Structure 1
Amino acid sequence: MGIITPRLLAIANMIKDEKCVADIGTDHGYIPIYLAKKHTVKKIYCTDVAEEPLNKARNNINSFGVQKDIEIVKSDGISWIKEYRVKVDTCIIAGMGSKTILQILKEDCELIDCYVICCNTNNTPIRQWAKEHKYFIESEVIVKDNDIIYEVIKINKHAGKKIKNLKDLYFGPILRKTKNNKIYFEKWLLEEQRQNKLLSKIPVKTKKYKDTLKYNKKIKKMINKVIKDEFKS
């Protein structure tokens, strides 16, 4: 399917033979369509807060002939899951910033087992949320799509890797232990460059400067580790 970009494919590949999946903020409905075509999910909910994207999704779903497998729901976030009283194996939340995603996650409930999250901004607050709720990281991947680097994280409430320390929060408990990952290396080189520019604009004798400098040192240490692993192979 040509509609599936590397980012959307990475998200879809996190779904493994699950009974029920909900795509939150579906936009064009491409992920639900892809999952329906693969026949890996029995029931798929396609949701958005606005009518326009839902109409686009509805047209696409009909044109691919998978309308029997996908139910369209007009709703803001995941609050509808309690109203429907439906058990959802995985909620997909992608194409948003961490602040918006965290706002959506305030409606987290026992009816949801997992989340697949692809954030447009910093992933640290998402991992922090998982840590605070004592959830696990089941899987993490990094992908480059149209010259933009994305991390895709699967949070599982019952099993996976614990987030134990700041390294896990910043760099991911799974991603940071993955060797020979050039995209991961590139991401943190770019982040180091961005932080250096930011540092040059902050007054030296401030807490913000100290915090940014501390974060910078952690990034440099991680980059050096990635380089070391690269030369080992």
Structure 2
Amino acid sequence: MNRIETLSQLTQGINTLLDIGTDHGYVIIDALRHGYIQNAIACDINKMPLDNAKQNIEAANLTDRVTFKLSNGFQHIDGSYDGVLIAGMGMHLVKDILSQKHVAAQKYILQSNNHVDLLRDYLSKHDFKIMDEVAVHDKFHYVILVCEKGKMNLNAKDMFVGPILKNKKEALPYYQHQMAVWVRNHAKAKGEKQAKMAVEIAYLSDILEFLKQL
């Protein structure tokens, strides 16, 4: 299953999805077609991707169920929503968007292209609780976090490997890939960075051993 299909499936239970950084609108189209959601707000900071999304959604005959907003994150969103999707961008941008003042949703689906450990750290410090984690390989390895407002405490290991993902057998290829990258980069690192990566390699080793026994 590819990244778009996985993100779409995770929208189940949402009535109106706010898709921030909608790009081509593919997740909205798939989620509406499968009945995972009933309505959507397609949002992007740039006009060109928003126009692309509008064209694709029009071609799918779904425009009666989608509102289009040119907006920097939540800043110009005035419609109601119960789910938020922020995917396909860097961790710092995901954090910046979540930090904007907004009406809380029942479900947040988050996928940063890097530093998922730092995103988990941000979530734990800003009243978000991780409810699910999914690893998907679609040319690259991605981790998708499903969250709601709430409290959670993560130790260093869970922040790095994921409090839920670490128990999923299907995440084994993701951790194997991560281990290969960390071992390679550890050999090039120096000082504190190398020491930190050595600890993280130990975390990965523990998880890989556990998952292979499931």
TM-score by length of 2: 0.90
Q: Aligned to 1:8, which of 4, 9, 21?
A: 4
163-172 or 190-199, which deviates more: 190-199
Moved over 6 A (4+): none
Aligned match of 1:170: 160
Task: Show the counterpart of 2:176.
Answer: 186
Q: CA offset at residue 34 of structure 1? A: 0.8
Cα deviation, 1:135-194, whole Å, max 9, x if unaligned, reads 210110101112x100001111148xx342111211111012223633222232133134
Q: In the alignment, which of 118, 128, 133 is matched to residue 125 of structure 1?
A: 118
Structure 1 CA distance for aligned equivalents of residues 109 and 94 of structure 2 = 11
2:68 pairs with 1:72: yes
> What do you get for the CA RMSD once the two structures are aligned?
2.0
Q: 1:57 aligns with which of 49, 53, 64?
A: 53
Cα distance in 2, alignment partners of residues 108 and 139 from structure 1: 24
**Aligned residue number for residue 206 of structure 1:** none
The gaps in structure 1 that reach 5 residues or longer are: 203-208
Distance change in 2, residues 1:198/1:91 (3 Å)? farther
Q: 2:196 aligns with which of 195, 205, 215?
A: 215
Instruction: Choose 1 or 2 for highest CA Rg.
Output: 1
Q: How many residues are matched? A: 214
Q: Is the 8 A contact 2:105 2:148 kept in 1?
A: no
Unaligned runs of 5+ in 2: none
Identity fraction in percent: 22
Residue by residue over 1:191-213, the C-alpha shift from the partner in whole angstroms, topping out at 9 and shown as x without a partner, is 313431441xx3xxxxxx22x23
For residue 80 of structure 1, give the secondary structure of its aligned residue in structure 2: coil
